[in-house]
Amino acid sequence: MASEADEESEVLTAEVPAELAGERIDKALAGLMPMLSRARLQALLAEGRVSRDGEAVDAKAKARAGTYAIAVPPPEPAEPQAEAIPLTVLYEDAHLIVVDKPAGMAMHPAVGSERGTLVNALLAHCGASLSGIGGVARPGIVHRIDKETSGVVVAAKTDAAHQSLSALFAAHDIDRLYVALTRGAPYPVHGTIEGAIARSTHDRKKMALVKSGGRHAVTHYSVEKMFGPQEKPLAARVACRLETGRTHQIRVHLASKGTPCLGDPTYGSGPPAETVREAIRAAGLKRQALHAAVLGFRHPVTGEQLRFESPLPADMAKLEALLARL
């Protein structure tokens, strides 16, 4: 997945000549851009940071003549510091730790969020036992949720657990359920949103649905409650079950239905009704109304089936109560 600090990325361009057409794209670009190693380019391709004509380039694609853009993120802090930040620990053993992350906490250090992240807190809580597979700046991190999204996340304390958990996520063998409070209600009330997601060509801070390129993304949703007139709901509580896990996936997919998460500053695409805006203000919601409510998986070492649930945090719970009065 791409970093949350993409607005800080440096965009480099490379002109691929006709004689390099047909070569592996990573090899062709490595020859044209000596400041980037082939391994680095492969990683950037995998993260969707290489584009041609505004479309993300597949990591296995063959080079074509033309101009390629490479968005290179700034270097992250090499040595994140342990910080004694209180954590809500739902489960912990010698292999992994499951935490209920609050909104406002970034997963790992990045430009603009060097301190106060989950990694900083885990370093203090777990000491040196975190898996190193995620790299120096991301020890133990197996998956991510957005900084302003709250809810359940798992981190690995051993490399073996990290590899096994990563394989489960890659195989979509994880139960991930999110609760969103949306502007209006998606129609039909039960359905599947399927559409590839890539970095927006108009705004590097945003992701977007694309017709070609990008990464395959599938979200299954179900409207649990509707608020306001039933014939034209003003808001809804929507359960979203992830089949894939792309950057901003639920936020992009719900917005594509014309029903973005309430309070979403990036994908809101227009204000909700005044009564809903009043409820948002009264609830003190200052972020997208999205919560990772359930995380279930098979323990990578013991084989035990684990399932963790997190209730709505105070801001979303109060907002839901206020919406129920509409």
Query: pTM higher than 0.85, yes or no?
Result: no
pLDDT for 9 equals 74
- Respond yes or no: is residue 146 known to be catalytic: yes
pLDDT for 36 equals 87
Binned at pLDDT 50, 70 and 90, residue 1 comes out as: very low
- Find the catalytic residue in 26, 146, 264, 315: 146
pLDDT for 2 equals 41
Asked if residue 202 has pLDDT above 90, the reply is: no
Binned at pLDDT 50, 70 and 90, residue 172 comes out as: confident
Are the C-beta atoms of 291 and 316 separated by less than 8 Å?
Answer: yes
Top mean pLDDT of 12-16, 113-117, 128-132 is at 12-16
Tokens of 208: 């977007």
> What value does the mean pLDDT take over residues 84-106?
97
Asked if residue 197 has pLDDT above 90, the reply is: yes
> What value does the mean pLDDT take over residues 170-185?
95
Binned at pLDDT 50, 70 and 90, residue 3 comes out as: very low
Report the C-alpha gap between 251 and 255 in whole angstroms.
6
Task: Say which residues have a Cβ less than 8 Å from residue 118's Cβ, sequence separation at least 6.
Answer: 99, 101, 105, 106, 107, 108, 141, 153, 155
> What value does the mean pLDDT take over residues 269-293?
97
Residue in 51, 56, 64 with CA at minimum distance from that of residue 24: 64
Report the C-alpha gap between 129 and 142 in whole angstroms.
15
Digit-coded pLDDT (tens) for 32-86: 988 888 888 988 998 889 999 989 999 889 999 999 999 988 765 557 889 999 9
% the chain with pLDDT above 90? 75
User: Position 293: which residue type?
Assistant: A
Mean confidence (pLDDT) of the chain:
91
pLDDT for 134 equals 74
Asked if residue 306 has pLDDT above 50, the reply is: yes
